[in-house]
Structure 1
């Protein structure tokens, strides 16, 4: 678009071109008359000869071809992953082998709102004003391990409401005595702060002896991976404040608890809980609790050894543990 104070507006260009084409002025004289270069006078005269008055308007500055632009199919895949999975630019880039900044530009061009403005369940845009978070990370594996327990409702045999709808789920739930009270499963989780490597078990309760036994097995598993745990962070649940859990930790592992009503302090395992629900527990409509439990070990292995983590620049957690990533496929 022409500048407000430009010498040649579309009207001025037309006058210049008419002097040269219609009145027969030489280019140099016409250029002096309007205070422009001979090259400029020639350009507008030639456009007038070819296109007439319509050739005096500004043309688009967009290049005729852009060999570096992403194919439209790739752009559609980017938008599709954003809509179906609610992934951020970094994770989409790792999946498609692109640069995160390129994915970010595509999402902005297509009008995709930031994830913090989107409801995770429905994908609908919502209004929110969430403050920026301060991220931290301990320098070595085992410096801090986050421990938490996630309570999860069991699926009745035949499928629940997520698979069959509300009416079908209710029918299955009352079909047999065992289904009427399927109860809850308790997922005990331990996540290494540095690598995000996770150990998890599906247990029947969250009592002190159960939590203590879980930590002994988790600690042995981390040791087998070459990780020596120095510190454990838990919430203020009764099982974590018990003498049984204290004994399981031993004298070499220090115990730190979060501030009351501040789950953000234990954010890495809380984020693991959310990932676990989205990508395993509610990822597909299971027909029974047994089917879901059988799928858990495979998903946990995928999380530790294959799933790209955005905070790890697309690497899986195992890649940050020395001599571990090459031992699993």
Structure 2
């Protein structure tokens, strides 16, 4: 019923009673309620057949749609979209349908944009969020090559980058007599609900290091009134170790693993690492690896306390936690 409708359900009932029970002429009732004669006749007949229940609005959807696209064709359209990433033109050419029909079906299924699908599998993106901080923490490791003294090749070019590598002291050599700069390992524990992140950069990803990071992260979250009750990791060696299992049991944390070869399950920490790399690791020229590592705590603080997060309604992750002394600093 639109905003300017002359007859509300109550007015329809009054009209029907006047015609059916009080024997008003249909024309007089139509004049009384300022509607057309066919409209008044329709509501009077419905009241005579169905009574008061018939005065409510009904769906305008037809009972039968003989020209609707058959269900098998709809399934084929969705399958081609998911598996082959084809657009309306390509799908229409394969199935012999019109482009407008294919686009309408893709829109109704909410897969008209490829951004609605998972890039790797083509399946619809499934988003979830646990209701309370600490219900689940995403844990992962990100590897980054160390920066030589003077700056890496991304900013100074490959030729100058090689000279910087060769001039960096104290580095072992590989079989080609080139200096091995080594790798930094970013261990991250990210809260699923608030997106508040704890990150350390270490020199390895062994089980001993991973367990030590977990203990420090749990204490860090506890200082912010978050009790970590479960963690989600991939199937890396450090997370399959007995040491990790014993640490989770000691901390009373339930350990969950992602499906093999399915990093999307742990996508929140994966996306955080992408933001971390873009906003900190390769954001500007660092004169050395030490210089870059010193900048990490400041960036993490910026991310947790000041950087707007779309999953938090454009607010920083820390705003999803309450009663924190340093929440807005």
TM-score normalized with structure 1 length: 0.60
For residue 177 of structure 1, report the CA deviation from its aligned partner. Answer: 4.2
For residue 287 of structure 1, report the CA deviation from its aligned partner. Answer: 1.6
For residue 328 of structure 1, report the CA deviation from its aligned partner. Answer: 4.2
Whether contact under 8 Å (1:146, 1:190) holds in the other structure is: yes
Aligned position for 1:148: 140
Tell me, in whole angstroms, the C-alpha distance in 2 between the residues paired with 1:307 and 1:175: 37
Aligned position for 1:178: 170
Whether contact under 8 Å (1:216, 1:249) holds in the other structure is: no
Distance 1:199 1:176, change over 3 A: closer
Aligned position for 2:260: 260
TM-score normalized with structure 2 length: 0.60
Aligned position for 2:201: 202
Whether contact under 8 Å (2:318, 2:327) holds in the other structure is: no
Identify which range, 144-153 or 317-326, moves more after superposition.
317-326
Question: Number of residue pairs matched?
Answer: 207
User: What stretches of structure 2 of length at least 5 have no aligned partner?
Assistant: 1-112, 172-178
Aligned position for 1:220: 219
Tell me, in whole angstroms, the C-alpha distance in 1 between the residues paired with 2:157 and 2:291: 18
Q: What is the SS of the residue equivalent to 1:300? A: helix
Tell me, in whole angstroms, the C-alpha distance in 2 between the residues paired with 1:267 and 1:239: 19
Distance 1:293 1:176, change over 3 A: closer
Runs of 4+ more than 2 Å apart:
114-117, 127-132, 176-179, 324-328
Tell me, in whole angstroms, the C-alpha distance in 2 between the residues paired with 1:214 and 1:176: 29
User: What stretches of structure 1 of length at least 5 have no aligned partner?
Assistant: 1-113, 118-126
Identify which range, 192-201 or 177-186, moves more after superposition.
177-186
Aligned position for 1:290: 290
For residue 325 of structure 1, report the CA deviation from its aligned partner. Answer: 7.3
Whether contact under 8 Å (1:319, 1:325) holds in the other structure is: no
- Correspondences of 1:1-329 after superposition (within 5 Å): 131-178=123-170, 180-251=179-250, 252-324=252-324, 327-329=327-329
For residue 327 of structure 1, report the CA deviation from its aligned partner. Answer: 3.6
Distance 1:268 1:286, change over 3 A: same
Whether contact under 8 Å (1:149, 1:206) holds in the other structure is: yes
